[in-house]
Structure 1
C-alpha cells in the first residue's frame, strides 16, 4: 500500500473567519489544490462533517446529491482522500477517519511517525553498510 501524507507549513490567516480557517486547514494538507479548482475534495469533507453526529458515514450518492455533482466525480476525490488516509470506506459508506478533524489529524500524525520510524531503521542499516558512524 502506498500512502502519501502531504503537510505544508502555511501561514495561518491573521484574523480568520470560519471560511478562511477551513481553507487554511485543507491547504495545509494539500486538499482542494491543483486540478481541483472547484475544491470538491474540501466540499466532500465538509459534507461529512455537516452530517455528524446523526450519521457516521454517507453513501457516495448522498454526497454527490448534496454537492450537486456526479457520483463518479465524487468517487474520484474520495479515492484520493482514502489514499491520503483522510477518509475510509466501509460497506459502501464513506467516513471521516477518526470521526472528527482533530482525531483525523491525530491518526495522520501516528501514520507519519510510523513512516519515520521505518525510514530511520532502514537509514541506520544503510549507514552501517557504508561504515558511517553515529554521532
Structure 2
C-alpha cells in the first residue's frame, strides 16, 4: 500500500486561537491544501474529533449529514485521508487514527521512521554497488 505522508514546516501562528491552531496543524500535514477550497478534509477531521469522545467510529452518512456534503464527496476526501494515514476505515465506520491528534502524530512519526529506515538501508546497498563505503 502506498502512503503519502506530507510534513510542511509552516510558521506557527502567534495567536493561540483554536481556529488558527487547527489551520496551522492541518497545513503542516498538507491536509486541505490544493483543490480542497472548501476545506472539506479539515472539516471531516474536526467532525471526527467531535465524535472521538465516544470512542466509536463515525459512519460516512453521519459525516455527510453533519457537514451537509454529499456522501460521494465525503468518501473522496476520506480516501485521501486514509492514504495520508490520518484516518482509517473499519467496515462502514471512519476513525481518527489514534485516540487524539497527538497520538495520530505519534503514529505518523512511526510511519515516517519506517520509511526512512528502509530508505537508509537501500541507500547503503546502492552506495556499496558504486563502491562507496561509509
TM-score by length of 1: 0.97
Residue-by-residue CA offset, 1:39-94 (whole Å, 9 max, x unaligned): 00000000000112124200000000000010000000000000010000001000
Counterparts of 1:82-93 in structure 2 under 5 Å? 82-93=82-93
After TM superposition, the runs of 4+ consecutive aligned structure 1 residues lying more than 3 A away are none
State yes or no: 1:30 paired with 2:30: yes
State how many pairs are aligned.
134
Aligned equivalents of 1:74, 1:55: Cα separation in 2:
21
Q: How far apart are residue 105 of structure 1 and its match?
A: 0.2
Aligned equivalents of 2:112, 2:56: Cα separation in 1:
25
TM-score by length of 2: 0.98
Query: Counterpart in 2 of 1:109?
Result: 109
Aligned equivalents of 1:54, 1:108: Cα separation in 2:
23
Q: How far apart are residue 16 of structure 1 and its match?
A: 2.7
State yes or no: 1:56 paired with 2:56: yes
Q: Which runs of 5+ in 1 are unaligned?
A: none
Q: Is the 1:56–1:99 contact (alpha carbons within 8 Å) kept by the matching residues of 2? A: no
What is the alpha-carbon root mean square deviation over aligned residues?
0.7
Aligned equivalents of 2:50, 2:24: Cα separation in 1:
19
Query: Counterpart in 1 of 2:126?
Result: 126
Counterparts of 1:5-84 in structure 2 under 5 Å? 5-84=5-84
Q: Is the 1:13–1:24 contact (alpha carbons within 8 Å) kept by the matching residues of 2? A: yes
Q: Which runs of 5+ in 2 are unaligned?
A: none
Structure 2 SS opposite 1:9 = coil
Aligned equivalents of 1:51, 1:89: Cα separation in 2:
15
Aligned equivalents of 2:103, 2:15: Cα separation in 1:
25
Structure 2 SS opposite 1:53 = helix
